[in-house]
Amino acid sequence: MSTRLLPLFPLHAVVFPRIHLPLHIFEDRYKEMVGNALRDNSEFGIVLAKDDGIVNAGCTVIVEKVLKNYPDGRLDIMACGRRRFEVVMLDEEKDYLRGEVQFFDDDDVDEPMPLEAQHAALTQYKSLLESGVLRPPTPEPNLDDPQLSFQLAQGLPDLDFLNALLRTRSEALRLRELSEFLAQYVPRQRHIAHVRHVAPGNGFGGKPPGI
């Protein structure tokens, strides 16, 4: 368990290890937090913010680059995910949250890549790209990453699903869950896109018959 309190940044986002995330820092408390991280070359944790609070798991990031400094102290930065953690206890003594955390990794990290599960996930990911439903811009995945599931899942809008993937401690299981998710998600999104496309052309100027 970590003996140092980890600064926490609640966001409506889920970040994975080795995935890049651009951030615009504008609140004073987070200017301080990021400033300390830059000064000390240290990590801070990103946790998913929900209506009723934050989830108790997240991923640390390191600031790889300051993209822009604004005269009023705001920052545009490029962060990169590093280590997953669970929050054991929260500390609210500073203006920003800090947490006592426990880091974790996959239980099957030393096992070979499950090729069948990998192939299935890549097949579904190809369908996802062809559907055009990914939110741009989505970086190219690193197919050599031993935790390929994280690379393939970036850009998906379902934050609850992404948070579940983040917590899962098996690459084989994550790949299977991702394949099953995409097998339902892609056809559903294609259907939604088709309905939106054909609805205005129903012959009634977008109005139902009889109006």
The tens-digit pLDDT sequence of the chain (211 residues) is 445 899 999 999 999 999 999 999 999 999 999 999 999 999 999 999 999 899 999 999 999 999 999 999 999 999 999 999 999 999 999 999 999 999 999 998 888 888 999 999 999 999 888 887 776 557 788 989 999 999 999 989 999 999 999 999 999 999 999 999 999 998 888 777 667 666 655 544 444 444 3
- The phi, psi pair for 96, rounded to 5°, reads -110, 155
Q: How many domains does the chain have?
A: 2
Print the domain residue range for 155.
Answer: 115-198
Q: How far, in Å, are 134, 148, 149 from residue 118 at the CA level?
A: 20, 8, 8
For 58-88, letters b (16+ CB in 10 Å) and e give: bbbbbbeeeeeeeeeeebebebbbbbbbebe
52/94 same-domain check: yes
Shared domain for 10 and 98, answered yes or no, is yes
Examine the domain organization and report whether 42 and 96 are in the same domain: yes
98, 119: one domain: no
pTM of the model: 0.85
Together in a domain, 39 and 96? yes
Are residues 210 and 201 in contact, defined by beta-carbon separation less than 8 angstroms?
no
Please say which residue of 53, 78, 104 terminates a domain: 104
Q: Which residues pair with 61 in a beta bridge?
A: 44, 81
User: Of 50, 75, 104, which residue sits at a domain end?
Assistant: 104
